[in-house]
Structure 1
């Protein structure tokens, strides 16, 4: 039992996978679920960059302002009026993973707004 407790302390992802939906993996979100997951939230990425998703459709990351929206079942963001980049969004209960058509994937965990 002591080893199990130590393992959970060393690797929190194991405990989170057991307690959060879905068990042991990522769940692809629908359009409404994406909006709920992002509105008035912040996601912190592994490199320490936080992205804020304001309820009015603006987003802030690394001091730059952009716009975010949900188009069908995809998250889209546009920076400085450039063409939007869209991605499918997955959740593991404590964080989000963004999967772009190009194959680029980024994942982060919820932070404080």
Structure 2
């Protein structure tokens, strides 16, 4: 989880709050299921099965994802802890917002 959280915080600065639409759990599921997101040097594929493949500089890491209380949550073995993020959308950009206020932006790669 720490490695994934660290990677998520490597993105740019937050945009003005009024530019972003807060997403519901259903919107998050629709936005991620079967899609691939791009971050700098990183790609993440969200499988229908709840598995997720994270590729950072050519290295693969398999984890799990789910929706919980209008939040995106992920788990990265061998850690059994789940990290959850609220999500916002602005056009084709998605934003993950951590409990500590850390923000990561991504765009669709597919």
Of Structure 1 and Structure 2, which has the larger fraction of its residues in helix?
1
Q: What TM-score range do you get, normalising by the shorter chain?
A: 0.7 to 0.9
Alignment root-mean-square deviation, CA:
1.2
Any unmatched runs of 5+ in structure 1?
A: 1-23
Using the alignment, how far apart are the partners of 1:85 and 1:50 within structure 2?
A: 18
Using the alignment, how far apart are the partners of 1:86 and 1:55 within structure 2?
A: 18
**Higher radius of gyration, 1 or 2:** 1
Q: In the alignment, which of 32, 35, 39 is matched to residue 29 of structure 2?
A: 35
Using the alignment, how far apart are the partners of 2:51 and 2:102 within structure 1?
A: 22
Higher relative contact order (CA 8 A, sep 6+): 2
TM-score w.r.t. the length of structure 2 is 0.76
> Aligned residues, how many?
88
Any unmatched runs of 5+ in structure 2?
A: 1-17
> 1:95 offset after TM fit, Å?
1.6
Partner SS for 1:51: strand
Partner SS for 1:37: helix
Of Structure 1 and Structure 2, which has the larger fraction of its residues in strand?
2
